[in-house]
Chain A
Amino acid sequence: MWNKIISSNWSPWITGAVIAVIFSLILFVLNKPFGTLNDYIDLINAGKAIYYGEHIQWSWGLLFIIGIFIGAFIASLTGKNFKIELIPEDHFKKGSSYYLTIGPILSFIGGFLVMAGLIIAGNSFLKLWSDCLSLYMSVIIFIIIMFILSVIVGTLLTIKIEEKKK
């Protein structure tokens, strides 16, 4: 049973319930909004402190992110799916001219757009997700717009790739 929990893929039904419980548990234990944009600013500041050889200012938000990193690392080890990959599989299939130039640029721009969107919206995705559980209509609007746009762009990209294959 324990082996199955730590090494096999979880069903989305169980995961959804577990995530709802974790969110409530975080609010109960810490009584603070978690996974906020400030945590990422703390991460940047910690990176700067390491670079300049200064003392890192530990905050609970920074430790929360480090906890996520360690948890995912342990999970990938126990699930035996830890694998060093420099290039995503779908980028690799498109050839070296893609995965050496356009691929990383698209990833960088994608990452930038995600965080820029979240900064403008006012919170991180985790916090917005948690606010969704409090039935914030504005956050539900955010999720719906984001999902629809991702579906449209995702579909356009898939169509383009399939046309190229033909």
Chain B
Amino acid sequence: MHPLNLTGSGEMFAALILGFILGFVLMRSRLACRKTLIDQFSFRDNTFAIVFLISMTIGVPIYYFTSKYGIIDLHVEHYSFWPIAVGAVLTGLGIAFCGHIPVTAIASLASGKLYSLWILLGMLAAFPILDICNPIVNDYVFNASAPMDVNVIAENSFFYDGKDIMLYFVPIVCLIFALFLRLIQPSKKEKN
């Protein structure tokens, strides 16, 4: 079995429907609410972390078996150490300030939260501004000598690279973390 690999209008229609389902899920799970992410980082509401960890618990075996039998292709990406580290710092700071990631900001705007427009404008402004700052970012981030090759680490840790133990270890650890986060989550009464 191979991926469907749709093209043309079929691809367009499928993208619209799959986007629709994802948007619907983001809204129904409250991930698109600003408060959910902001409360996550003070551990008052662990919804986001639990969703992420459970997606790992379920997704890692699905990705493993479907890629093993050729049903999906895992598109291998190459990352570098400093861009990953600097990017994570900036993204973390940004989320603490605005409480959204790009998809949740779009979903939030769709639910009538017009203030998300400021966040989205900031996100879209990043493209031309970083284009202007490209020489500086290139010198200090992309061309900086990396203390380790993260792609080597990534390749070594890939479950389809003979490290089947990760297939069981990661989902179980994620599940335990998710249960722990659920346990320490304050009840609605305590939150109020």
A residues engaging B (CB < 8 A)?
Answer: 5-6, 8-10, 12-13, 15-35, 40-41, 43-44, 47, 58, 60-61, 63-76, 79, 81-91, 103-104, 106-127, 129, 131-139, 141-151, 153-155, 157-158
Q: Nearest A residue to B118 by beta-carbon distance? A: A107
A83-B87 in contact (CB<8A) = no
Q: Does B58 contact A (CB under 8 A)?
A: yes
B residues engaging A (CB < 8 A)?
Answer: 3-6, 11-12, 14-32, 34-35, 38, 40-43, 46-60, 62-63, 66-67, 71-75, 77, 79-81, 83-103, 105-116, 118-127, 129-130, 137, 141, 150-151, 153-154, 156-159, 166, 170, 178
CA distance A141 to B3 in the complex (A): 29
13 example contacts (A-B, Cβ-Cβ < 8 A) are as follows A12-B29, A15-B54, A18-B25, A27-B73, A73-B110, A86-B114, A114-B90, A114-B119, A117-B94, A134-B158, A150-B40, A150-B96, A151-B42
Q: Nearest B residue to A114 by beta-carbon distance? A: B94
Note all chain A residues with C-beta closer than 8 A to B32: 72
The interface residues of chain A, by DSSP majority, are classed as helix
CA distance A18 to B18 in the complex (A): 12
Note all chain A residues with C-beta closer than 8 A to B120: 111
A146 to chain B, nearest CB (A): 4
A26 to chain B, nearest CB (A): 5
Q: Nearest A residue to B108 by beta-carbon distance? A: A72
